[in-house]
Structure 1
Amino acid sequence: MIDISESVMQVLLAFIVVGPLIGAAAALLPAPPGLKGKSPEQAVLRHGVLVTGAVLIAAIVLALGFDHDHPSKMQATTDISWIPALDVRIHLGTDGISLPLLVLTALLTFLCALYSYFKMPAGPTPKAFVALVLVLESGTLATFAVLDLLLFFLAFEMVLIPMYFLIARWGGAQRQAAAWKFILFTLLGSVVMLLGLLLIGIKAGTFDMVALATDNGRSLTTSVQVIAVLAIGVGLAVKTPMWPLHSWLPDAHTAAPTVGSVLLAGVLLKMGTYGFVRILLPIAPEGLHTFAPYLAAFAVVGIIYGSLACLALVRQGAKGDLKRLIAYSSVGHMGFVLLGIATMTPTGVNGALFANIAHGLITGLLFFLVGALKDRTGTTDLDTLAEETGAALYGKAPRLGGLLAFAAVASLGLPGLAGFWGEMLALFGAFKPADDLSRPAFLTFMAVAALGTLLTAAYMLLVVRRVCMGATPRPETPKLADVRSYEFAAWTPLVVLTVVAGLWPKALLGLTDPAVQQLLAGGTR
């Protein structure tokens, strides 16, 4: 690690949050003559790569300068009064919980910008596309960096409009209906969440998340905490998404362009689970304790429901869509994250945070691969891929087939890859939940969730068998292009990090565990 002064760390974090917004504004301006290159469209796409690349470099330098000996301490903090009448402050900071999410967001957005430079989705002007992606990045990064409840809400909402337009303008079939469903579900959830945030701020006398976490709910009565957790939890559960508030997700993923699906699964879903850990767990612990068994129950139902939906889609003759299948798999994977949080133990919460990062890496890779498959075959229908086009990727595009098989086994939780540790720790947390929670109930939840891991393995292996092996290609079947150089560049970091996180989990758990221990003990210094 490198020694960087606190003032430089503050500047880096501020740039990470604000830089994409400035880049979005610049993307809408005419390109200088010397930078146009072959066309203005290429210039603005190149601009997107440069801005997201600069943000990624800043995030990596921030991670290298982070004091890894004290990951529970808020670092790179900025605290400036913004709206004195409401005591709202521009309060930024990062600790071992938020730092991995900041780096993941910066990485995935850069890879999406790089991929789009070579494979821009069909639709309106690239200027609007690049600007929307950068605004989306800024809102997501701000969500993970802000330490004021109202600022958190503004950042949480900031991502909705860019994602709506990415789906509605650059998506595939049924994109308008999917975009409207996405915006209506998330906006309605956010209205309820705002009421809960205001209740906490008014009753506690501050919106400062650090002060509230340190207070650990002592200034809030149990009834206030219960109402706040119910209201805020609904908004966060929609974004996660938790069953039965998940129905917007499959439609949004199916209609979204490739990079939209990558960002939606890789980072936007994490905003909901991050809110549970950053806000509800330390600020309203008694309220969350009241709802923990119900949260765990909804989580395990989501695990089984997502797996059964995937099994229904993958069976022969079901005309299942591969993107839709991966979307339903996300419902199951995020169920493990919610189960870990519901245990209210260091083991379970650490598992939830690990599963968050693993899901971002693996599912981001899966959506990239499915997008590439659609570009080559013109379809994501499993029956068409397996029978009519004779995809048989192992024989026709071996590198692409190998990567799809790798992502599938990583998603099912193969030991040695990133997907394994989060789910295992969530199950361990359920085996021995917090002292006042019903252990028999959580043992039941653990058994049901463990069944979900078997179902996940079943549908993922069926996907590999049907798409990668498939039918014997007919002589007249056109050849498929294998992995191209730009695809290799965009996907390699995700593959490497999936392996590294699986083989060296301490790199991530060493960051999250001290911060989680402190949150559960009574806040963040």
Structure 2
Amino acid sequence: MLTVLTAIPAVAAVIALLAGNRAAVARSVAFVAGTVSLALAARVWFGIGTDGTMKFAERADWVPGLGIEYHLGVDGLGALMLLLAAIVSLMVIAASRKVASQPGLYFALILLLESGLFGTFTALNFFHWFLFWELSLIPAFFLIKLWGGEGRGPAATQFFVYTMVGSVALLLAFLALFLATGSMDFEVLTQMAATGELATAIQAHLGPITLWLALAVLLGFAVKVPLMPFHTWLPATYSKAPTPVTMLLTGAMSKMGVYGLLRLALPIFGHELAQVRTPLLVLATLTVVAGAWAAAVQKDLKRVFAYSSVNHLGYCLLAIFAVALPSGSSGATSLSETAALDGVVLQMFNHGLTAAAIFWFLTLLEERSGGLLGIDDFGGLRKPAPVFCGLMGIALFSSLGLPGLNGFVSEFLIFRGVFPLSWVSATVSVLGLLITAAVILTVIQRVFSGPLPERWNAFPDLTAVERLAVAPALVLMAVLGLVPQLALGTINATVMHLLAGWRF
């Protein structure tokens, strides 16, 4: 099933490409493929169970002499990321209504990026995991380069160079692991790390470089999330990319870095990361607070929410680094670690859903305003467009962390877990919550409230089709805010299983 799920958007990409300039055909192909992919991803999620182990496993020899297997599988973490990638991809296809230039190529690249995401979240052998990791980079580069706004060329190049540096660091680190162990399988490497056999093998074959390998892997994922100071590519990329593409960048691609930390970095190099836990916590706290503060001073709405994404993913980094304790865990500490990582996994999904929805509303705002997205370009829009402002307000309040919506649950779990593990980092990071609230409320005040400029008297409200299109995402925000155990049962089982096999 995982192979079929990954292949569907890739095959559909070829069909969409053949559609050429027939936009309706290309978009229909993408929509059908996205819908089928979502149905299969939902089937995987509901079939994953609550024992925390890998399911839907596929395994076959590929290049045995090089330790390369075709090895797929998902647990609760992977299945939830598949579901998120499928949801966000379908939202992007729905939001891409006005692609005038080369629509066949545009939708083909969107589908190819979706296939890369699916492969990244299912592969359990480094060789083909890395192929899918890079596969997601290439279509993203061309989507920014060909359909972005003014200054898209430098932004696309910066995005490519930064992420490629991280990819090279990952490749070198895992080549070193292969030389030391003869394996590229994530499960094998995790088991070796848990017993201490991995560090012994690296020492014997390569010398005392285990910590350096850990830092190389960390760099690869830190750029992708991003962790400050490796974030400078993100604001330009998000603001210059077509707004629907930004939905995919922030909603799904940014989660690849957090996923990598949970699937590779902590399981394989947890002991080494625990040695540098304090500076990592400092950087995570900086990411939370400085990300929110940077969002507060932006004048372009896309840059506001670009920096807001840095802030929200900083919470995930804070929890991950707090969990990497350098000593054995007590019962109370284990409970805190579980709560923190439950929050991380749920935050990955919640932020992806909420951020994609916000940028979808920005797409609709951009279409109605003739391309304007300055925070001072509007005002009083709730008068001519009350439904638009009301529904976008739900997504904004979810991003703010309002109780009753999905964002609150994951952020609460993160801070519940982090406070006992690192109370100083958690206390300082609370400033990020306060600044984020101020940022969101400022956006609501400046865009929705106040006097209505005369030129927006006829600002069109959402059509019936647009209301139906955005409704499922908003309903899901409310459902997960009120009944989070629908996801937490599976997430908690996976987190406990992961923690049991990690060595710090």
2:114 aligned with 1:137, yes or no? yes
Alignment partner, residue 50 of structure 2? 69
Residue 168 of structure 1, CA deviation: 1.0
| Maintained 8 Å contact 1:147/1:208 | yes
SS at the partner of 1:393?
coil
Q: 1:163 aligns with which of 140, 155, 158?
A: 140
Q: Given the two structures, how large is their TM-score scaled by the length of structure 2? A: 0.92
CA change 1:214–1:172 in 2 (3 A) is same
Matched, 1:382 2:371: no
Aligned-residue Cα RMSD (Å) equals 1.7
Deviation at 1:277, TM superposition (A): 0.3
Work out the percentage of aligned pairs sharing the same amino acid. Answer: 35
Q: Aligned partners of 2:396 and 2:459: how far apart in 1?
A: 20
**Contact 2:126-2:174 at 8 Å conserved across structures:** yes
Counterpart selection for 2:398 from 398, 402, 410: 410
The CA deviation string for residues 89-126 of structure 1, in whole angstroms up to 9 with x for no partner, is 1111111111111011011111221232xx1334x311
Partner of 2:449: 469
CA distance in 1, matches of 2:167, 2:446: 40
**Post-superposition shift, 1:152?**
1.6
Match in the other structure for 1:24: 13
- Residue pair 2:80, 2:349 contacting (<8 A) in 1 also: yes
SS state of the match for residue 378, structure 2?
helix
The answer as to 2:500 corresponding to 1:521 is: yes
**2:116 touches 2:136 (CA, 8 Å); kept in 1?**
yes
Please name the residue that 2:425 is paired with.
445
Shift of 1:205: 2.6
- Are the structure 2 counterparts of residues 408 and 41 from structure 1 closer, same or farther at C-alpha, using a change threshold of 3 Å? closer
Give the letter for the 1:166 counterpart.
L
Shift of 1:414: 0.9
Deviation digits for residues 280-320 of structure 1, max 9, x if unmatched?
1112220121233222211110111111112212xxxxxx1
- Report the Cα distance in structure 1 between the residues aligned to 2:58 and 2:502, rounded to whole angstroms: 18
Partner of residue 153 from structure 1, selected from 126, 130, 142: 130
CA contact (8 A) 1:265 1:364 kept: yes
Deviations 1:46-71 (A, max 9, x none): 111111111111112222333x232x
Contact in 2 for aligned 1:413/1:420 (Cα 8 Å): yes
Give, in whole Å, the separation in 2 of the partners of 1:445 and 1:234. 21
- Give 2:228's aligned amino acid: W
Q: Partners of 1:493 and 1:194 in 2: how far apart?
A: 39
Gaps of 5+ in 1: 1-11, 32-38, 314-319, 387-391, 434-441
Matched residue SS, 1:77: strand
Q: Distance in 2 between matches of 1:385 and 1:272?
A: 35
Q: 1:176-187 counterparts in 2 under 5 A?
A: 176-187=153-164
Tell me whether 1:481 sits opposite 2:481 in the alignment. no
Contact 1:104 1:357 (C-alpha < 8 Å) held by counterparts: yes
Q: Distance in 2 between matches of 1:166 and 1:421?
A: 34
Distance 1:216 1:409, change over 3 A: same
Unaligned runs of 5+ in 2: 201-207, 324-336
Q: Could you give the per-residue CA deviations for residues 485-505 of structure 1, whole angstroms, max 9, x where no partner exists?
A: 342233212111111111111
Matches within 5 A, 1:154-303: 154-217=131-194, 218-221=196-199, 223-303=208-288
Q: Which amino acid aligns with 1:128?
A: L
Equivalent residue number for residue 420 of structure 1: 408
User: Are positions 1:456 and 2:459 aligned together?
Assistant: no
Give the conservation status (yes or no) of the 8 Å contact 1:15–1:55: no
C-alpha deviation, 1:171, in angstroms = 1.2
Is residue 281–residue 519 contact of structure 1 (8 Å, CA) maintained in 2?
A: no
Match of 1:92 in 2: 72
Query: 1:340 aligns to what?
Result: 319
SS in 1 for 2:297: helix
Tell me how far apart the structure 2 counterparts of residues 373 and 477 of structure 1 sit (CA, whole Å): 12
What's the CA shift for 1:29? Answer: 2.6
For 1:105 and 1:75, the matched residues in 2 are separated by 18
Alignment of 1:360 with 2:333, yes or no, is no
Q: TM-score, normalised by structure 1?
A: 0.88
SS at 1:432 equivalent:
helix
Which amino acid counterpart does residue 509 of structure 1 have in structure 2? L
Quote how far apart the aligned CAs of 1:342 are: 1.0
